[in-house]
Each structure stands twice: as structure tokens, then as C-alpha cells.
A and B are shown apart, each in its own frame.
Chain A
Amino acid sequence: MHINKFITPEIIFGKGAIDQVGDSCLRLGAKKVLIVSDPGVIEAGWLEKAIEGCKQVGLAYSTYDEVTTNPKDFEVEKGCHVYKENECDAVIGIGGGSVMDVAKAIAIVVTNGGRISDYEGVDQIKVPLPPLVMVATTAGSGSEVSQFSVIVDCERKKKMTIISKSLVPDIAIVDPFTLVTKDRYLTASTGMDVLTHAIESFVSIAATPLTDVQAKNSIKLVCEFLRPSVASKTNEEAKAAMAMASLQAGLAFSNAILGAAHALSHAIGGRFELSHGEVNAILLPHVMEFNYIAAPQKFLKIAELMGVDVRGSSGYEVGKQAIDKVRALSKDVGAPQRLSEVGLKEDSILEMSQAALDDACMITNPRDISIEDVKELFRKAF
């Protein structure tokens, strides 16, 4: 590909950036916003913070917080109802990936009509969305800058990947300070999710120099700061670095797309209530092993970024050390290692495999993959 494109929203980054939420909406012409969050965010006090921001600028608001891990289509529908009921004209998503994906999905349906399943796939959105402002409170999903929204279709028991330029938010607010409320386990799994985003988009066949810059920096930051971030809630330097890593990984995968790890993890998330971060943390090393032969040079670069001494080496062996580095990091921060650990049964592999193969993320995976390969990957991860 000689031509490439790089899309990004306006990004407001830094400690206290969350206070900009009201102003940001006003600038976009909002009169009444729907603020989407979830119980965890409310508990942490970030919703209150956002409301305060709206009140300060005299912006009317309504709230919606019925969002769960792996958000469902009916949650989107309920949110749309709240939006219309209160005659809102803009959407704020404040929270992790689930909240932001639901906020985006609500924005789609309220302007485009129909149901969220009508927009599954690539470029199905025909009408512009209302102004979208995303406030990321987990250093993980990257949804605040991405063109993705992933919603579970309860009827078909699968995660629908919705990809469209229209899903790129108008303004992304990343405030590292919001990360201080996350517990150790959540910090670890979302951190591993960032790493998955960074590595998958780096080795993606759609990667471009622009995305590579973001991905490489993200990998470096995760390697350096995930351990201290998990270790201490109040290590502000580590939190800021992880927030940046998440943001850059988001920019990378939004433009270079992902790979097999996400395809498999979407298949699992459509059926089981497992957090996206946990599943990615488990799958990442296995997928790296599978993909390794397709992009040895990139793996060599990853190894280098993760602290392996690669001077004078171009060998596969050195590149392979990247996988060990990932495993070591995962163990250090206490992320789960096997699917069986998180309560998955092996008999569900079959039905998940086909769904994984059909996932849009599979297209940019560097190595061709068959249904057998997918099954084998699942088996290894158990």
C-alpha cells in the first residue's frame, strides 16, 4: 500500500484534563448532553466530576449508567431511549472501553435509526453522529481515539465489531489522574490490553509509519511503567505514562487495525462475561508465537523495545525473546495466564472458532489463519 491514512480526534491530555469536559461539549454546540458511565465509574467519583464540569458551564445533562463488561445491544437501546426522552444533542462517554463503546453505539442509533446490529461491519454509518466527547478512565481500551465500537449481539451471542470513521470521537480527554482509583487487577489486565493493542497494530499488515511511531512508543511505555503502575495507585508518573501508552496504542490500532488475539477475544467476549483485558492478556503470547514467522523483523523491533539486546542480531531467536518478555510482564503484574483459570470450558472452542475467523480483526493478522489454527490457539490458551 502506497497510500495510507491516519485519523485522530482532538486530544486533550494531562492531569486535570477531565475538567475540560463541559467546555469541550459547548464548543461542539451541545445544548444538552447524555453522559454515559457505569457503576464502577460512579463509585470512583468520575461521573460526579464530569457533571460538575457541565454545571460549571451551564450545560444541561442527563445520565445513563447501565453498562456492563462486554456491553450488550439492549444496553445501547436503553441508552438511546434516555437520549431521546431527554432530548439530548451530544454524548459524553466517561469510563473504560465498555462505556465508550456504548456511548458511540448510542450516538449511532439516535441519528441513524434502526438497531445497533444494522451497523455491524465496516462503513455502514450513513448519517453523522451527534458530537462525541470521550473521557478515558482506564489506561486500556483506546476507544477514546479509535474508530471501533464492539457491542454484544445477545441473540447471536457474538461481539459485533462496528468500524467507521464516524465513530472517531470529536474530542478525547485523557486524564491520568483518573487511573488512581483502579485496583491492581484492573490495572494489570487493562495494561496488558494496551500492550496487545500496541503489538497487534505494530505487526498488522495495515501498519504505516505513522501508526508504527505510536505503537512502538506505546510498547516501550508499557514495558517501563506497567509494573510500577500496578504496584502503586498513587505513582503519578507511572499513571501518566500508562495513560499515554493506552492513547498511543489506541491511535495505532484505530489506524492499523489489530489481529488474531482480538479476533479470538471478541469471540470469547460475545459468549462469556470475561473482561476484554484479561482475555487479551492470556491470548497475546500464544498469538505472538503463531504470528512470529510472518513478521520476524517487527518482532525483533518489539524485543528491542522491551529491553532485549538486539545489537548485531537479525536472527529469529532474538525476535522470539519478545514473547518471553511479554509472558514475564504478564506474570509480574498478576494477569491471568490460562483461559481455564478464568472459568472457560474447552467444549465451547468449536463454536467460538468460526466467530473468531469471521471477525474483522482477522483480516490484518500478519499470518494466514485457518479454522484449525484458531482451534489450536484456543486449545493452547486453555
Chain B
Amino acid sequence: MAVIEDKQNMIELLTGVKSSKQSYYMELKKTIRQLEKKNMKLEIINDVMKSFNIHMTMDEMLGNVLEKLKHIITFDRLSLSLFENNELILSNVYPQDLMPVRSLPKKNSLYWQSINRKQPIYYSFSTKEQQLSIVEEDMLRSLNIESVLLIPLISKEAVIGVISFESKRQISYETQDLSFLQQLADQLAVCIDNAKLYNAVLQGKKEWEETFRAVLDMIIFVDMEDTIIRFNDAVPRFFQMDGKELNGQKISRILFQDQDGEEWKSYKMKQPAYCQMSVKNKRICEIYTYPVSNEKDEMYGVIFYMKDVTEKVHTEAQLIHSGKLAAIGEMAAGVAHELNSPLTAILGNSQLLMRQFEKGTSSHQLLQDIKNCGDRCKNIIRNLLTFSRQDQFVLQDSSVNYAVEQVLSLVGYQIERENIRIVSRLKDDLPLVEGSVQQIEQVVINFLLNAKDALTEVDRQEKKIEIETNVKVVDDEEWVYLSVTDNGVGIKEKDVTAIFNPFFTTKESIKGNGLGLSVSLGIAKMHGGKIEVTSVEGKGSCFTLLLPKGEMYG
């Protein structure tokens, strides 16, 4: 019977009752399936690449990839173990069933084997070839895992961990799938490695940025076109601007409101530089500039490190000035005392002599002159002593007019000697101000001496200084003002903001030290007042001290 059956079967085979021509359609479907699978694989690899970013946890990422992976590879569980300090730490499991975050022992470990050999291992519990017990067995058995496929994660030729595909039954992986999983693992390894590096870099960057922001001084990064690229929080605070406004602005505009850029030394010399200048909001800054270069040593920007030193400079100026004043005062006091004795003799003697001559005689007249001059000297000396007296600063009702008169008696003479006419228009019933006469006098002296200096440099028919005191209303407030107007050289427009800076001077060093106006401004502010300047170059200037009216007249 068997013979007959065999023969029948053979004949059926030959005549093809049970076979057909291979169908193109089926083949096409198979090809399409393979392509789909390939696409899916590509998509997965792509997903791995894409989803590896800092905003996604490793678990989310794995979840993403695995949902897709399930369509092409059969597995029930996946775990990811990473190398950390020479230990293998089970770091992620999917689905998240049990998560013993612990390091895997090296002895008899399948995971370690895969890592050490740098090659995939397939292990099935039911077909153990050699009866070795592996340390992972209990853990996997408890999850009903039957077979494990381990693929080492290799990035830049270093093993960084191992990925394990675990299944509740035995799986025979196709070669294509294995090579795909190997690729996936490689990709994963590179991504994990990159993510680590990226996070480290990011962390570092963040720390630096925090540092940068925490600095109280201003730090601005400027490109080669003078455009502001980055700055720390101190910058908008200082300029009282919105951060958005600052971005992309030219630094010169921000600092000086100039259209054209300042010639920064660092750009030209490609080395750090330092300068101190006043910026547009009347503050004085120390500016350090440092060139920034790329790897090729090409400079591509400059870092501006700016310190607001206004207070410091003012304080210094005050100190120097008061120091100077103290010295002048002491000297003046000394000189005054020295002069007082001869003056006493001159005055005494001239009075004694005057008694011996009739009034009206020429000798009497001469002696009278001597006495007058002596008196005048005495006055000057007394004023000098008063002025230089280092009184405690006390606020009291003071008359601006009195201060003007005092000053004129002190310096009026030397001004008129320069062929300068002084015109005073002092308001009769000028309200008193709260303050220190001496300090107000200082301001007046400064104004007058500056006016005189401005006039000595100019060639005019009629040189004059007008002094005016009065009251005016600004912003609903009444101010007592004192203005000193000259028709001297005037001030260059670009210097107008700088003249109040300490040590700013256009005069030769012997004549001026650049402290007068800055100290005056300090005094004005101390009195709750301000100083206004109008000036036209070549025509003259007008300085006005505005002081709030004293309370008792309010």
C-alpha cells in the first residue's frame, strides 16, 4: 500500500495538483511587508535619534521606541543597564514592572559576559547547553522570562552598557533582525553617550550662565560689528531698559547715544584694554574690554566688563577735594595769621600817623589809602579764614545772595584784573535756602573761576560775567536759583555730559584738576538741588545752581 501511496504522491507532485506557479502578487506582498518592516526599522532608528533630547526621560524615550519595535521584534520585556564607575547599573526597564536599581554582580553574569565579549548573546533557560547557573536567573525566572537576547551598547568603541530583550518563550531571531537590533543598540549607545555629554555640557553651560547672571557688574558680549549679542542681568538694570530692547543694539548707542562707534582699543589691538568713561545716564564706568577668539585665533567679538564707579569716583573726588581744601585752609590760616601781624602793625602805625596830620593834607590822604588797603587786606584774610574754616557741616537757613557777596569780595578783584566786567543782578528779597553757606560759596567760586578761565581763553571786546539770583518754578516747585553766565569759549557739545565727571578738565594740569564741577554737583545734590548747563561753543556758557526753597518761606 505504501508503495502505491508513494507513487501517487510523487505523481501529484510532478503533475502539480498541489502546486502552482509562484505568484508575483504574493511575492510583491512579501516584498512590501519586508519594505514596511525595513521602514519601521528606519523609523525606529530615526525615533531613537529624534527623541533623544534633554526634555525626555529615558523611560519615555524607550517607551516610544518600543511601541514601534513590538511590531517587528517579539519580546515581552526590555531592560537597559548602563556602566557607571565600573559598575553595571540596571537603569531602565520596560514595561516598568520591577525596578531593582542596583548594580549587577560580575561573577557568572550573562550581562557582563556580553559586555566583556563585546558581542550579542542569546540565552534560553530551557535549552541550557552547559549547566552553569547565571546570576540573572532568579530575577528573570520570577518574571517568567524564558529567553534573553543581550546586545552590548558600544559607543566610540567603548562599551557603555547592555540592552536586553527578554521573552516569555523561546525566540529564533532572524539574522536581519539581529543585525537591526545591533544597529539599534549602536544608535542607542551613541545617543545615550551624546545625551550624557550633552547634559554635562548643558549643566556646565547653565552654571556658567548662572555665574554670569549673578555678577553684579555688567558683562556684555559684543560682536565685531559692535552689536550686543548677550549681556547679564546687571545691564538692563543699569540702563533701565528692557532686555529685549538691548538685544541687537550697537553698544556705542547704548553707552553714549552716539551713532558712530567708539574706537575700542580691543578691536584694533586684539588685546585687553581698560578705560574709564562716563556713559549716557551720567554714570561713570570703568570699562574693561577683552577680545574673544575662536579656535583659529580669529577674533569674533569683545567682552565688555563694566563697573559703575560713579559713587566711588565722587567719593574719591570729595575726599581729594576736601583734602585739598583742608590743606588750602590750613595754609590760608597760616598765611592769614602770618599776614595778620604785619597788617596789625601797618594798620596801627598808619592810624597813629594819621593823627599827626590834618585831614585834607596829602599825607593824611596817603595814610588813609594805606589804612583802606590794610582794611581790605584784613577783610580778605578774614574771608579766607572763614572760607577755609573746616566747620562741621550744619544745615541752616542760608542766603544765596550773602554767599555771592562773600565770594565776590574774595575773588571779584582777581577777576576784574583780567578786564572782565562782573554784572550782578541779585534779587532783593530772595528766599533763604536750607544749607551750608560755605558749601554754596564753594559752588559760586567754582562757577566764577570757571567763567573767568573761559574768558581768558577768548579774545573779545567786552568780556563779562553776569551773576543772577532769583526764584523760578519748575515742575510746580519753587526753586531758588543762582546763575553765572559768561561770554567765553563755551563747551564742546560732546563734553557737556563729561564736565561733571571728576578729574575731567580741558585745562592744563597746572590750572585745573577737574574736580570743581563734580564737587559742585555733589554739593547741589546734598542740598536737594541740581545744576543745569547751557552752552554754545564759541559763544559762552551759563551754569545754574537750583536749590529748593527753604521751609520757613513755604
Question: Among B10, B20, B22, which residue has its beta carbon within 8 angstroms of that of A127?
Answer: B22
- B131 is an interface residue with CB less than 8 A from chain A: no
> Does B15 contact A360, Cβ atoms closer than 8 Å?
no
Q: List the interface of chain B (C-beta within 8 A of A).
A: 7-8, 10-17, 19-24, 26-27
A1-B8, A123-B19, A165-B19 given; A363·B24 CB < 8 A: no
> Does A364 contact B21, Cβ atoms closer than 8 Å?
no
Judged by DSSP, the binding face of A is loop
Mask of A246-263 contacts with B, CB within 8 angstroms, 1/0:
000000000111000000
> Does B11 contact A5, Cβ atoms closer than 8 Å?
no
Closest to B7 in A: A363
Question: Among A3, A122, A129, A364, which residue has its beta carbon within 8 angstroms of that of B17?
Answer: A3
> Does A147 contact B16, Cβ atoms closer than 8 Å?
yes
B135 to chain A, nearest CB (A): 44
> Does B15 contact A128, Cβ atoms closer than 8 Å?
no
Residues of the A chain whose Cβ atoms lie less than 8 Å from the Cβ of B26: 128
> Does B22 contact A122, Cβ atoms closer than 8 Å?
no
Q: How far is the CA of A360 from the CA of B16 in the complex (A)?
A: 13
- A166 is an interface residue with CB less than 8 A from chain B: yes
B63 to chain A, nearest CB (A): 38
Closest to A147 in B: B16
Q: How far is the CA of A363 from the CA of B15 in the complex (A)?
A: 11
Known: A128-B23, A129-B22, A363-B11. 16 other contacts (CB 8 A): A1-B11, A1-B17, A5-B17, A7-B16, A122-B14, A123-B13, A123-B16, A127-B27, A163-B14, A164-B19, A165-B20, A166-B22, A208-B15, A257-B14, A257-B15, A363-B14
Residues of the A chain whose Cβ atoms lie less than 8 Å from the Cβ of B10: 363
- A55 is an interface residue with CB less than 8 A from chain B: no
Closest to B30 in A: A127
Mask of A152-168 contacts with B, CB within 8 angstroms, 1/0:
00000000000111101
Residues of the B chain whose Cβ atoms lie less than 8 Å from the Cβ of A208: 15
B232 to chain A, nearest CB (A): 64
Residues of the B chain whose Cβ atoms lie less than 8 Å from the Cβ of A363: 7, 10-11, 14
A171 to chain B, nearest CB (A): 13
In the A-B complex, list the 3 residue pairs whose CB atoms are closest, starting with the nearest: A128-B22, A165-B21, A166-B22
The A89-138 residues at the B interface (CB cut-off 8 A) are 122-123, 125-129
24 A–B pairs (Cβ distance < 8 Å), ordered by A: A1-B12, A4-B17, A5-B15, A7-B21, A128-B21, A128-B22, A128-B27, A129-B22, A163-B14, A164-B19, A165-B19, A165-B20, A165-B21, A165-B22, A166-B21, A168-B21, A205-B7, A206-B15, A255-B15, A256-B15, A257-B14, A363-B7, A363-B11, A363-B14
> Does B14 contact A360, Cβ atoms closer than 8 Å?
yes
Residues of the A chain whose Cβ atoms lie less than 8 Å from the Cβ of B8: 1
Residues of the A chain whose Cβ atoms lie less than 8 Å from the Cβ of B7: 205, 363
Residues of the B chain whose Cβ atoms lie less than 8 Å from the Cβ of A123: 13, 16, 19
Q: How far is the CA of A5 from the CA of B19 in the complex (A)?
A: 10
> Does B23 contact A364, Cβ atoms closer than 8 Å?
no
In the complex, which of the residues A128, A205, A256 has the most CB atoms of chain B within 10 Å of its own CB atom? A128
Q: How far is the CA of A123 from the CA of B15 in the complex (A)?
A: 11
Closest to A211 in B: B15
B175 to chain A, nearest CB (A): 15
B25 to chain A, nearest CB (A): 9
> Does B11 contact A205, Cβ atoms closer than 8 Å?
yes
B446 to chain A, nearest CB (A): 98
Residues of the A chain whose Cβ atoms lie less than 8 Å from the Cβ of B22: 125-129, 165-166
Residues of the B chain whose Cβ atoms lie less than 8 Å from the Cβ of A163: 14
Residues of the B chain whose Cβ atoms lie less than 8 Å from the Cβ of A1: 8, 11-12, 17
A299 to chain B, nearest CB (A): 21
Question: Among A4, A122, A127, A166, which residue has its beta carbon within 8 angstroms of that of B13?
Answer: A122
Residues of the B chain whose Cβ atoms lie less than 8 Å from the Cβ of A168: 21
Residues of the A chain whose Cβ atoms lie less than 8 Å from the Cβ of B16: 5, 7, 123, 147, 165
Mask of A163-199 contacts with B, CB within 8 angstroms, 1/0:
1111010000000000000000000000000000000
Q: How far is the CA of A4 from the CA of B12 in the complex (A)?
A: 8
> Does B23 contact A206, Cβ atoms closer than 8 Å?
no
Closest to B26 in A: A128
Residues of the B chain whose Cβ atoms lie less than 8 Å from the Cβ of A255: 15
Q: How far is the CA of A7 from the CA of B22 in the complex (A)?
A: 13
Closest to A360 in B: B14
Residues of the B chain whose Cβ atoms lie less than 8 Å from the Cβ of A3: 17
Q: How far is the CA of A5 from the CA of B20 in the complex (A)?
A: 10
Closest to A7 in B: B16
Q: How far is the CA of A163 from the CA of B10 in the complex (A)?
A: 12
Q: How far is the CA of A129 from the CA of B27 in the complex (A)?
A: 10
Q: How far is the CA of A128 from the CA of B27 in the complex (A)?
A: 7
Residues of the B chain whose Cβ atoms lie less than 8 Å from the Cβ of A128: 21-24, 26-27
Q: How far is the CA of A125 from the CA of B27 in the complex (A)?
A: 12
Q: How far is the CA of A255 from the CA of B16 in the complex (A)?
A: 8
Q: How far is the CA of A364 from the CA of B21 in the complex (A)?
A: 21
Closest to B8 in A: A1
B26 to chain A, nearest CB (A): 8
B48 to chain A, nearest CB (A): 32
Closest to A121 in B: B13
Residues of the B chain whose Cβ atoms lie less than 8 Å from the Cβ of A7: 16, 21
> Does A206 contact B20, Cβ atoms closer than 8 Å?
no
Q: How far is the CA of A127 from the CA of B26 in the complex (A)?
A: 9
Q: How far is the CA of A104 from the CA of B19 in the complex (A)?
A: 18
Q: How far is the CA of A263 from the CA of B12 in the complex (A)?
A: 19
> Does B24 contact A364, Cβ atoms closer than 8 Å?
no
Q: How far is the CA of A320 from the CA of B265 in the complex (A)?
A: 122
Question: Among B14, B21, B24, which residue has its beta carbon within 8 angstroms of that of A206?
Answer: B14
Question: Among B15, B21, B23, which residue has its beta carbon within 8 angstroms of that of A4?
Answer: B15
Closest to A126 in B: B22
A122 to chain B, nearest CB (A): 5
Closest to A128 in B: B22
B349 to chain A, nearest CB (A): 134
Closest to B31 in A: A127
Q: How far is the CA of A3 from the CA of B8 in the complex (A)?
A: 12
Q: How far is the CA of A328 from the CA of B372 in the complex (A)?
A: 179
B27 to chain A, nearest CB (A): 5
In the complex, which of the residues B14, B24, B26 has the most CB atoms of chain A within 10 Å of its own CB atom? B14
A200 to chain B, nearest CB (A): 13
B223 to chain A, nearest CB (A): 55
Residues of the B chain whose Cβ atoms lie less than 8 Å from the Cβ of A5: 15-17
Mask of A214-249 contacts with B, CB within 8 angstroms, 1/0:
000000000000000000000000000000000000
Closest to A255 in B: B15
Q: How far is the CA of A338 from the CA of B26 in the complex (A)?
A: 49
Q: How far is the CA of A1 from the CA of B528 in the complex (A)?
A: 125
A170 to chain B, nearest CB (A): 9
B297 to chain A, nearest CB (A): 53
> Does A206 contact B11, Cβ atoms closer than 8 Å?
yes
Mask of A1-31 contacts with B, CB within 8 angstroms, 1/0:
1011101000000000000000000000000
Q: How far is the CA of A3 from the CA of B18 in the complex (A)?
A: 10
Residues of the A chain whose Cβ atoms lie less than 8 Å from the Cβ of B21: 7, 128, 165-166, 168
